[in-house]
Chain A
Amino acid sequence: MKIRIKNGRVIDPATGLDKVQDIYVAAGHIVAMGQAPADFHVSTEIDASGLVVCPGLVDLAVRLREPGLEYMATLESEMRAAAAGGVTSLACPPDTDPPLDEPGLVEMLKFRAKNMPGPRVYPVGALTWKLKGERLTEMGELAEAGCVAFSQADAQMVNTMVLLRALEYAVTMDLPVWLRPQDHYLSQSGVAHDGVVAARLGLPPIPVPAETVALQTILLLVRETGARVHLCRLSSRAALGMLRRAKHDGLPVTCDVGIHHVHLSEMDTADFNANCHMVPPLRSLRDRDAIRQALAEGLIDAVCSDHAPVDEDAKERPFQESEAGATGVELLLPLTLKWAREAGLSLAQAIDRITYRPARILGIDAGEIGIGKPADLCVFDPDADWTVSAKTLRSLGKNSPFLGHELQGQVRYTVIDGHVDFRHNERH
């Protein structure tokens, strides 16, 4: 298929490009920009006048709920939702049922995903067998099957010796490890930030040290082993301070936050809204402001949706009994744009955090626009308003704290591997 994307404002954060020009796509790649190549016969034309053309989004945490959790969402539904969100590459955490701890499961997932429209899927393998934190998985085999990193997802790693061994083994295989710092004992049975709202509502608390104690352990073990560690979903100001020192000391660590933590705080849980029940918990306004600041500075490398579609039954429960997580892959772009607008940053800076930078963490050839690059593109209207609702969300998970909110910025087309996998107002 040969595509011409005409008249769009092309923004590529990696090169600083920001200019209205045409893009020509053939055989899955960008073949020309500005001038059409000779003998280019357009089969599909996208009129991007008034729209922004940027690299397709790279989302570091999208739960596709397969295998095993199809009652929450299906691979097909979430792939469609991701494409509608402008996402062209995604990493999926291993917290499926069974977890992604065997090469066969990973191969099957990759095979199924490849045969349907939607983003390129990069599975994150389980670091330990069944995510139990006891026995290492066959990381070498899993990497051959397609795993790009290894993680415990939100499962705990209680035994520090296993963590040390896992990091040493990952270094041996030259594989990255993704960890969300959370101390098992300090977070046990907790559901909300240990702050003013938990004090008022009597919700079992998760104190900030649940994150910082675990983070300190991880950082010391990174220092010891030299393992490449990506820190997932940091939630507190204190943890960001530790990250700053670690990066300053040259430790090989990167970090992301969930987009909801950029906008929301414990205050949003004050009416027991189960859609605001997340891991890690939404913390204080001070923590949220520190996250926004660190994201602007670049201390935080990337924002992800931490997409977690949950069925209604699991959310229509008292807060502490509800399933944690929020649907978000379709909100990553507008919520990142909202943050940048409020922080006085440019479109390019916003796009950078959800394209180029997460692609570097994944180590994939994505997140850039240039001749010869894969044709993974997102075309969006930065000014279009739309209302988040069960109807407008394509994900089977309708569990969004932003239900009923109007957001600015809407995806019009998503091009993946040279195919138009999403067009606004068209159901696949």
Chain B
Amino acid sequence: MIPNLQLTEDGRLRHLLTLEGLPARILTQILDTAESFISVAEREVKKVPLLRGKAIFNLFFESSTRTRTTFEIAAKRLSADVVNLNIATSAQSKGETLLDTVANLSAMQADMFVVRHASSGAPHLIARHVAPHIHVVNAGDGRCAHPTQGLLDMFTIRHFKGDFHNLRVTIVGDLLHSRVARSQIHALTTLGCPEVRVVAPRTLLPRDVSSLGVHVHHRMETGIRDADVIIMLRLQNERMQGALLPSAGEYYKHWGLTPDKLRWARPDAIVMHPGPMNRGVEIDSEVADGKQAVILPQVTFGIAVRMAVMSILAGN
């Protein structure tokens, strides 16, 4: 929504905060660059010297294992120096403000911040206050955006389906709380996907979700019929405690992806999940481990995509 904050005056990527408002050429540039990094992982020495001497700080104000690890691997493969800060348990709990924390870390000659935060917009705030040479990568903020996840999902779709122009993509699950889904939707619509559907009970959809350019379904049968790509979202256990859903069992019955429901999709449909999965809640093990699932390749591609993002930012 704020292209100016993300882009330099001549239209190059300065920060990666959200996929909304980024032009298709930049998304494609990232995907193409990631393609070239896939082979790095297959070499015996899995390193390239693109970010040698650069200091990348992983600022995780909210805990995460997988995203932080893949960012760390990606940075190390680019030969950067990586510092991991688990701020959820340090400075902020001592009362330091977000911007003070960032100012202190900037003083340690950081070149890039990879930020995860529980509040929507926190990386935007940081990006607005950092020195001009520092790049900010959003690694997930509140319910707002998770752009590298969105990009790696696009990479996965392109890898298995070729392009986006004839695809029917269905996203199933907790859209209300999902930064992943928002990033996927923006990327899909920007890259020309003609039909993006969302499937969820009303309680798990933002009120104006259709304004994002998606078709809204409440039933799986209509939602995944003839879909080429099915993306299952994680359903967090705490959603069961409020009045959003009556039980995990009822959710699974209506919205869990089982082999039976998968038959409504196209026979060559792929099944994706940003992880971590709740088997038996949003996805059946038979589907998660089945031949249509591309969930593990997503993780592998995630490293290449994050390498691409960091190398492009460092070069701009």
Chain A residues proximal to chain B, CB less than 8 Å: 194-196, 198-205, 207, 270-272, 313, 316-321
Proximity bits, B131-156, A CB within 8 Å = 1, else 0: 00000000001111100000000000
Q: Give the interface residue-count category, chain B.
A: 20 to 34
Q: Is the beta-carbon distance between A318 and B125 smaller than 8 angstroms?
A: yes
- Stretch from B114-122, B246-254, B278-286 that touches the partner: B114-122
Q: Is the beta-carbon distance between B1 and A319 smaller than 8 angstroms?
A: no
- Stretch from B73-81, B105-113, B202-210, B224-232 that touches the partner: B202-210
Q: Please, could you name 27 A-B residue pairs with CB atoms under 8 Å apart, sorted by A?
A: A198-B206, A198-B207, A199-B208, A199-B211, A200-B1, A201-B144, A202-B143, A202-B144, A202-B145, A202-B177, A202-B182, A202-B206, A205-B206, A270-B2, A271-B2, A271-B5, A271-B124, A316-B125, A317-B97, A317-B119, A318-B120, A318-B125, A318-B141, A319-B119, A319-B121, A320-B119, A321-B119
How far does the Cβ of A219 sit from chain B's closest Cβ, in whole Å? 25
For B4, give the chain A residue with the smallest CB separation: A271
For A207, give the chain B residue with the smallest CB separation: B207
Number of A-B residue pairs at CB separation under 8 A: 80
B20 lies within 8 A of chain A by Cβ: yes
8 Å CB contact of B121 from A195, A205, A207, A272: A272
Q: Is the beta-carbon distance between B124 and A272 smaller than 8 angstroms?
A: yes
Q: Is the beta-carbon distance between A313 and B120 smaller than 8 angstroms?
A: no
How far does the Cβ of A164 sit from chain B's closest Cβ, in whole Å? 26
* A202 CA / B176 CA spacing, docked (Å): 8
How far does the Cβ of B200 sit from chain A's closest Cβ, in whole Å? 13
Q: Which residues of A contact B212 (CB under 8 A)?
A: 199-200
8 Å CB contact of B206 from A199, A272, A317, A321: A199
* A310 CA / B204 CA spacing, docked (Å): 34
* A199 CA / B206 CA spacing, docked (Å): 5
How far does the Cβ of B49 sit from chain A's closest Cβ, in whole Å? 36
Q: Is the beta-carbon distance between B120 and A201 smaller than 8 angstroms?
A: yes
Q: Is the beta-carbon distance between A319 and B120 smaller than 8 angstroms?
A: yes
B179 lies within 8 A of chain A by Cβ: yes
Q: Is the beta-carbon distance between B97 and A313 smaller than 8 angstroms?
A: yes
B98 lies within 8 A of chain A by Cβ: yes
Q: Is the beta-carbon distance between A271 and B1 smaller than 8 angstroms?
A: yes
How far does the Cβ of A270 sit from chain B's closest Cβ, in whole Å? 5
* A321 CA / B119 CA spacing, docked (Å): 7
* A320 CA / B118 CA spacing, docked (Å): 10
Q: Is the beta-carbon distance between A202 and B20 smaller than 8 angstroms?
A: no
Proximity bits, B146-178, A CB within 8 Å = 1, else 0: 000000000000000000000000000000010
Most A C-beta atoms less than 10 A away, residue of B99, B119, B124, B125: B119
Q: Which residues of A contact B119 (CB under 8 A)?
A: 317-321
8 Å CB contact of A200 from B20, B117, B141: B20
Q: Is the beta-carbon distance between A196 and B211 smaller than 8 angstroms?
A: yes
Q: Which residues of A contact B129 (CB under 8 A)?
A: 316
* A200 CA / B210 CA spacing, docked (Å): 10
* A204 CA / B207 CA spacing, docked (Å): 11
Q: Which residues of B contact A207 (CB under 8 A)?
A: 207
* A172 CA / B268 CA spacing, docked (Å): 74
* A313 CA / B120 CA spacing, docked (Å): 18
Q: Is the beta-carbon distance between B121 and A201 smaller than 8 angstroms?
A: yes
Q: Which residues of B contact A194 (CB under 8 A)?
A: 206-208
Q: Which residues of A contact B124 (CB under 8 A)?
A: 271-272
8 Å CB contact of A317 from B2, B125, B179: B125
How far does the Cβ of A155 sit from chain B's closest Cβ, in whole Å? 23
Tell me whether A195 and B208 are in contact in the complex, defined as CB-CB below 8 angstroms, given that A318-B120, A318-B121 are known contacts.
yes
Q: Is the beta-carbon distance between A320 and B142 smaller than 8 angstroms?
A: yes
Closest 9 pairs (CB-CB, A-B): A202-B143, A318-B119, A272-B121, A199-B206, A202-B144, A318-B122, A196-B211, A199-B208, A196-B208
For B181, give the chain A residue with the smallest CB separation: A202
- Having A200-B20, A317-B119, one finds 19 other A-B pairs with CB under 8 Å, namely A194-B207, A195-B207, A195-B208, A199-B209, A199-B212, A200-B1, A200-B212, A201-B144, A202-B145, A202-B177, A271-B5, A271-B124, A272-B125, A318-B122, A319-B119, A319-B120, A320-B119, A320-B120, A320-B142
